[in-house]
């Protein structure tokens, strides 16, 4: 019986290791979705930016992208906080990759050429959970902000 339990844990660990890429994709997609819905408007420009940012970060087919978008919406609706998603990113990504995620968050927020206070607050909260220094938060914001 102990052998069967050990085998089960081994299988679970192997499955978790193989699913890491999907997990980082989902975590990133949920955070981008959270910024998109922060102002309670789902404008087409923001939705297009959301999809483009996911394409830029990950190699996804059209079908995979659609599934990821639907799954991220479902996960975001069920989530109590952002920490479960930022933890995945913190565990896997380094500083440069986290900065790229932050830049993507700003890109989605500025897609409609209007930054709402709710979008700004959401990105600030996510940046804090990703342990991104405030100076990088500001640099990222200014580099993405449209003229």
Q: What is the pLDDT of residues 85-97, one digit of tens each?
A: 999 999 999 999 9
Q: What is the pLDDT of residues 42-98, one digit of tens each?
A: 889 999 999 999 999 998 888 999 999 999 999 999 998 999 999 999 999 999 999
Cα dihedral 30, 32, 35, 41 in deg (nearest 10): -90
What residue ranges do the domains of the chain occupy? 18-144
DSSP structure class, residue 94: -
pLDDT at 60: 86
Longest dimension (CA), the chain: 66
Neighbours of 53 (CB within 10 A): 24
CA distance 39 to 36: 7
pLDDT at 121: 97
pLDDT at 11: 52
> Which residues, in sequence order, are CB contacts of 6 under 8 Å at separation 6+?
none
Homologous superfamily, domain 18-144? TerB-like (1.10.3680.10)
pLDDT at 34: 96
Q: Quick one: average pLDDT of 129-144? A: 96
């Amino acid at each position: 019986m102990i052998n069967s339990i050990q085998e089960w844990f081994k299988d679970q660990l192997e499955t978790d290791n193989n699913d890491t890429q999907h997990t980082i994709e989902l975590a990133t997609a949920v955070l981008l979705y959270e910024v998109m819905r922060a102002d309670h408007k789902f404008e087409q420009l923001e939705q297009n930016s959301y999809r483009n940012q996911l394409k830029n970060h990950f190699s996804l087919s059209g079908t995979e992208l659609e599934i990821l978008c639907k799954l991220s919406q479902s996960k975001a609706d069920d989530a109590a906080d952002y920490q479960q998603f930022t933890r995945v990113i913190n565990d896997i990504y380094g500083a440069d990759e986290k900065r790229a995620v932050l830049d993507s968050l700003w890109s989605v927020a500025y897609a409609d050429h209007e930054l709402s206070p709710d979008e700004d607050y959401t990105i600030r909260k996510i940046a804090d959970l990703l342990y991104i220094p405030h100076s990088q938060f500001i640099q990222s914001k200014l580099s993405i902000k449209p003229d």
